[in-house]
Amino acid sequence: MVFNSYTFIVFFIIILILHNLPFTWKMKKINLLLASYIFYAAWNPPFIILLWISTLIDYFVGIKLHQETVKAKRKAWLFISIAGNLGLLGFFKYGNFLLENFTLLCQSLGLDYHPAKMDIILPVGISFYTFQTLSYSLDMYKRKGLPEKSLLDFSLFVTFLPQLVAGPIVRPDELIPQFKKPVTATKQQLLQGLLLLSLGLFMKVVMADTMLSGASDAVFDAARPLPAVDAWAGVLAFSGQIFFDFAGYSTCAIGIALCFGFFITHNFLYPYAAIGFSDFWRRWHITLSSWLRDYLYIPLGGNRKGNVRTYINLMLTMLIGGLWHGASWTFVVWGGLHGLYLGLEKFIDDKTHKITKLVLTHKKTITGFLYALFTFFLVNITWVFFRAQGFKKAWDMLKSMFGMQNGDPLLSTLALIKVAIVIPLMVLFHWLLRNTTVVQAAAKLPWWLVGTIWAVMILLLVWSQESTGSFIYFQF
């Protein structure tokens, strides 16, 4: 089920009504859990079993990690959790990728190996919920908090429907405590939640799908060289599309959770106003970058083992971050580019401290804006690898973008105008709002302006009629 569908609207109204009826708190949590399972099963019912497997493994491992004192046995329990979660992920997401690369390796060694391709469906959200439950087991291993005794609360943590299929990746200590006391949304929270839900849907349906996806898809699907204008328009369109699509989903998730009285952490904070890449990763898919920082980068040593080791740790973390997105070497290269940028930035900043200074001032200066634009430019280069279906297409795109090859124009004038209007406005909005949030910004506006903007978003949403297109991050 996707948020931008009639089915979800009806479903959401029903569960919201149920949540506000005078049931016991336990009953309400059961309703939410069942609703979450229905939400997931509405895509493909049998894959509920994977959710159960992930839930049960980490529930019991968490308890065992707390009870066990022998180090070797604790490691064994942790291994079960890691193997279980990453095993599921590895099979469903990387099964064919691993097989293809193993086949290539065998053939390069002269071995005649031609296995049949496995017909594996990628379960929606698997990258998200496995990382979410894994963070619980890792926290229990580090003795960060007590294990959750209630299977109901733990199951709800794993499957909470707003963030189940595309994040934000929520930490156990952020969400589970909220299940302990009865909560329904106040009027303020309900209205804020509905406003955020409207905004999220507007971002996805109007901005990503209606305004930008056409240009992006046309350019990246083109089987011929393109002129620079078209290539850049397509890449910029994708940079906007992926932001509006993914941030739109996260905004919907936060809004939906708020409608039930729950708080979910932000996942985006105007990333295209980032000054440098450290800043970018504090603003883009924040919950993934903080997960990778806490459970990969820091355990690898972080920046505590000298400069060389820091660069290696940065690169490893970003390569794995790239691979998390998809079973393809282009995603790894995407991650590697970010690792390279982060390394270079650290190298320059260690010597000059200029970048850190700009980021920490919180002031919006011209210099800061220019650095932000340069960061945005470099991010767009990485998006080529993220979106392209293979390296050949990625190279062709880059060659077109930098005028090293030419071709017949592809995009209509309308498509170019859409990109030319939406992308600069997006970058400008990011810059203007980089130190605040939507809710804080809306609170400063007169009520009639908020109401009018809200109405315009809803009307454009209805007018777009681009319903049921799935979110980009569902494929990760």
- Please state the closest distance from residue 187 (CB atom) to other proteins, in A: 5
Instruction: Rank residues 21 and 417 by Cβ distance to other proteins and give the closer one.
Output: 417
* Rounded Cα gap, residues 129 and 206, in angstroms: 28
> 102 by DSSP, 3-state: which?
helix
49 touches other proteins (CB under 8 A): no
- Please state the closest distance from residue 443 (CB atom) to other proteins, in A: 4
Instruction: Rank residues 90 and 225 by Cβ distance to other proteins and give the closer one.
Output: 225
Using CB atoms within 10 A of its CB, is residue 388 exposed (0-12), middle (13-18) or buried (19+)?
Answer: buried
443 touches other proteins (CB under 8 A): yes
Contact track, other proteins, 10-29, x by CB under 8 A: x-------------------
Within 10 angstroms of residue 73's Cβ, the number of other Cβ atoms is 13
Q: How many CA atoms lie within 13 A of 37 on its CB side?
A: 15
* Rounded Cα gap, residues 256 and 13, in angstroms: 11
Contact track, other proteins, 217-256, x by CB under 8 A: ----------------------------------------
* Rounded Cα gap, residues 277 and 412, in angstroms: 33
Only one of the segments 143-151, 261-269, 310-318, 412-420 lies at the binding site for other proteins (rule: CB under 8 A); that segment is 412-420
Q: Of 309, 319, 320, 372, give the one whose Cα is nearest residue 346.
A: 309
- Please state the closest distance from residue 44 (CB atom) to other proteins, in A: 6
Give the Å distances, CA to CA, from 390 to 47, 423, 432: 29, 25, 36
The answer to whether 159 and 151 are in contact (CB under 8 A) is no
- Please state the closest distance from residue 35 (CB atom) to other proteins, in A: 13
Only one of the segments 29-37, 40-48, 138-146, 398-406 lies at the binding site for other proteins (rule: CB under 8 A); that segment is 40-48
- Please state the closest distance from residue 223 (CB atom) to other proteins, in A: 12
- Please state the closest distance from residue 52 (CB atom) to other proteins, in A: 18
Only one of the segments 37-45, 66-74, 140-148, 365-373 lies at the binding site for other proteins (rule: CB under 8 A); that segment is 37-45
128-187 positions binding other proteins, by CB under 8 A:
186-187
Contact track, other proteins, 448-467, x by CB under 8 A: x-xxx-xx--xxx-xxxxxx
Q: Distance between alpha carbon 443 and the CA centroid of its chain, in Å?
A: 27
Only one of the segments 285-293, 347-355, 368-376, 403-411 lies at the binding site for other proteins (rule: CB under 8 A); that segment is 403-411
Count of residues near other proteins by CB under 8 A:
51
- Please state the closest distance from residue 253 (CB atom) to other proteins, in A: 17
* Rounded Cα gap, residues 48 and 37, in angstroms: 7
Phi, psi dihedrals of residue 434, rounded to the nearest 5°: -60, -25
- Please state the closest distance from residue 395 (CB atom) to other proteins, in A: 24
401 touches other proteins (CB under 8 A): no
Q: What is the DSSP letter of 1?
A: -
- Please state the closest distance from residue 12 (CB atom) to other proteins, in A: 12
**Which of 14, 27, 104, 417: binder of other proteins (CB under 8 A)?**
417
**Which of 65, 195, 203, 257: binder of other proteins (CB under 8 A)?**
195
* Rounded Cα gap, residues 286 and 306, in angstroms: 26
Helix ranges (H only) for 293-328 are 307-325
Instruction: Write the single-letter amino acid at 36.
Output: S
438 touches other proteins (CB under 8 A): no
* Rounded Cα gap, residues 461 and 446, in angstroms: 23
Give the sign of the dihedral formed by CA 249, CA 252, CA 256, CA 257. positive
SS3 content of the chain, % helix, strand, coil (to 5): 75, 0, 25
* Rounded Cα gap, residues 463 and 476, in angstroms: 29
* Rounded Cα gap, residues 374 and 240, in angstroms: 16
- Catalytic annotation, residues: 325
Contact track, other proteins, 100-129, x by CB under 8 A: ------------------------------
**Which of 125, 147, 214, 326: binder of other proteins (CB under 8 A)?**
214
The answer to whether 25 and 150 are in contact (CB under 8 A) is no
**Which of 21, 34, 44, 105: binder of other proteins (CB under 8 A)?**
44
420 touches other proteins (CB under 8 A): no
Instruction: Rank residues 70 and 121 by Cβ distance to other proteins and give the closer one.
Output: 121
> 360 by DSSP, 3-state: which?
helix
Contacts with other proteins, residue ranges (CB under 8 A) = 1-2, 5-8, 10, 41-45, 186-188, 191-192, 194-195, 206, 210, 214, 408-414, 417-418, 442-443, 445, 447-448, 450-452, 454-455, 458-460, 462-468
